[in-house]
Amino acid sequence: MSQAFDAVDVIRTKRDRGRLSPEQIDWVIDAYTQGEVAEEQMSALAMAILLNGMDREEISRWTAAMIASGERLDFSSLGRPTADKHSTGGVGDKITLPLAPLVAACGVAVPQLSGRGLGHTGGTLDKLEAIPGWQAALSTEAMLAQLRDVGAVICAAGSGLAPADKKLYALRDVTGTVEAIPLIASSIMSKKVAEGTGALVLDVKVGSGAFMKSLDQARELARTMVDLGTDAGVTTVALLTDMSTPLGLTAGNALEVRESVEVLDGGGPADVVDLTIALAREMVAAAGVSDVDPADALRDGRAMDVWRRMIAAQGGDPSAALPVAREQQVIEADADGVLTRLDALAVGVAAWRLGAGRARKEDTVQAGAGVELHAKPGDRVKRGQPLLTLHTDTPERFARAQETLAGAWEVGTDAPERKGIVLEEVR
């Protein structure tokens, strides 16, 4: 390609708090994807964006350029509306598993392209791979066929979607620029828009176990992503949801699948059920379907029927026994009273140390590893009763997991104020 711009000039523009022109943005993303802008130059630009920000037009153009670096999927042939959900990640966040079949049971097709986990937040694909036989990789043709037949698919994103993002994401990870909100928002939204969904609901987590620790940060990210979706012609809504304590009663892979199946079977923890229904209602409404309540489809078993067909369509056995870790260790409450705090981040890191997550992309995960909760904040506990059960195949991991959990909970006399799982909406 012709050398339309100079990378150093683009870096200087943002370093000096200037606006990048649409042409500069298109050029730098394309040239970086083609290997003509060096890694150290894109590192400098990413740091300048972290420090000096971008306005709405810049972020929108940046996202469009990332989308243009690869292919776009098209679901217009399905004959039914499509909706997708993206979560910014949290501890025990298994919501995609019951949510996709639930929304499909309401007549909206769900093309859910998901990833594997890195760090303390487990990936949806890691969880589903705990099911014997289940396969994450599907061709675009197989994905479309499953959407027509079943209505829902959860699978790995192909390498053709927003390749610029894949390259930039890896660079941000090693250059201290992961936290740049324009880059987080454009990373998420470039993939979701390229995926071709008609409507998108964002679950932006807030709290110790989330990437965004404060409401202000989460609000800014949510607003940026909703604007990006709107600018790209995708109906987009964001819910800010609580991640100060783990979601549900499990953090792990097979443990979370088991809990998801309980939800689809009409049971499960109240917070998981509430968030699943809240997100399903938003997805169904955003897709333009108004005559169905997802709570009914959860109650009458239609969502469970779709789950079984969805798992079987990808080679999984929905009735097979899930893996169980070889070793368990119980942590007991150290006082009588009310559990006033249980820190999500500590539980997530403990699950990771037990083998449920990975530190590097190449690492394997243990299907049965993780943490099981026997009480949540607000519950009464007695000294000596089980508070947490740690699960792993490798018992030498218990010590480090216990270190992580030291000081992660408190037992007091007054119950904490109960708040709903959904904190705010951004439209």
Which residue's structure tokens are 């130059």? 41
Average pLDDT estimate for 159-184: 92
Cross-strand partners of 206: 212, 242
Let me know if 244 is a catalytic residue: no
Task: Write down the catalytic residue from 167, 191, 302, 391.
Answer: 191
Q: Are 121 and 163 in contact (CB under 8 A)?
A: no
So what's the pLDDT on residue 362? 76
Task: Write down the catalytic residue from 61, 85, 86, 116.
Answer: 86
Higher pLDDT residue, 11 or 120?
11
Average pLDDT estimate for 273-289: 98
Q: Are 250 and 373 in contact (CB under 8 A)?
A: yes
Let me know if 187 is a catalytic residue: yes
pLDDT band at 2 (very low <50, low <70, confident <90, very high): very low
Q: Are 30 and 69 in contact (CB under 8 A)?
A: yes
CA distances (Å), 254 to each of 228, 323, 354, 367, 388, in order? Answer: 35, 6, 13, 5, 17
Let me know if 172 is a catalytic residue: yes
Task: Write down the catalytic residue from 14, 120, 172, 353.
Answer: 172
Strands lying side by side in the sheet with 409-412 = 380-381, 337-342, 409-412
Give the chain's end-to-end CA distance (angstroms, integer).
40
So what's the pLDDT on residue 120? 67
So what's the pLDDT on residue 277? 98
Percent of the chain at pLDDT above 90? 91
Q: How far apart are CA 74 and CA 40, in angstroms?
A: 35
Long-range contacts of 294-303 (CB under 8 A, 24+ apart): 294/102, 294/103, 294/105, 294/106, 297/102, 297/105, 297/106, 298/98, 298/102, 298/263, 298/264, 298/266, 298/273, 299/266, 301/266, 302/105, 303/98, 303/101, 303/102, 303/104, 303/105, 303/264
Which DSSP string do the residues of 335-359 spell out, in sequence order? SSEEEEEE-HHHHHHHHIIIIIS-S
Q: Out of 4-8, 16-20, 44-48, 356-360, which region has the weakest mean confidence (pLDDT)?
A: 356-360
pLDDT band at 360 (very low <50, low <70, confident <90, very high): confident
Report the relative pairing of strands 386-392 and 327-332 from DSSP bridges. antiparallel
Enter the pTM of the model: 0.95
Let me know if 120 is a catalytic residue: no
- Among 242, 261, 244, which Cα is nearest to 127's? 261
Let me know if 86 is a catalytic residue: yes
So what's the pLDDT on residue 363? 81
pLDDT band at 195 (very low <50, low <70, confident <90, very high): very high
Neighbours of 390 (CB within 10 A): 25
DSSP state of 245: S
Domain range 76-157+196-313, its CATH number among 3.40.1030.10, 1.10.287.70, 3.90.1150.10, 3.40.630.40: 3.40.1030.10
Neighbours of 341 (CB within 10 A): 15
What are the start-end ranges of the E strands in 292-398? 327-332, 337-342, 370-373, 380-381, 386-392
DSSP H/E element including 409: strand 409-412
Q: Do domains 76-157+196-313 and 327-412 have the same CATH topology?
A: no
DSSP state of 210: S
Domains of the chain, residue spans: 76-157+196-313, 327-412
Average pLDDT estimate for 59-64: 98
Most confident of 115-124, 254-263, 418-427: 254-263
pLDDT band at 157 (very low <50, low <70, confident <90, very high): confident
pLDDT band at 1 (very low <50, low <70, confident <90, very high): very low
Contacts of 117 (CB under 8 A, 6+ apart): 89, 123, 126, 357, 358, 365
Residue 42, pLDDT above cutoff 60 = yes
Task: Write down the catalytic residue from 187, 208, 244, 260.
Answer: 187
Contacts of 421 (CB under 8 A, 6+ apart): 241, 242, 247, 271, 274, 275, 278
So what's the pLDDT on residue 364? 87
Model pLDDT for residues 388-408, shown as the tens digit of each residue: 999 999 999 999 999 999 999
Model pLDDT for residues 234-245, shown as the tens digit of each residue: 999 999 999 999
Q: Spelled out in words, what is the top-level CATH class assigned to the domain 327-412?
A: alpha beta
Q: How far apart are CA 135 and CA 309, in angstroms?
A: 14
So what's the pLDDT on residue 394? 97
Q: How far apart are CA 314 and CA 195, in angstroms?
A: 19
Residue 426, pLDDT above cutoff 80 = yes
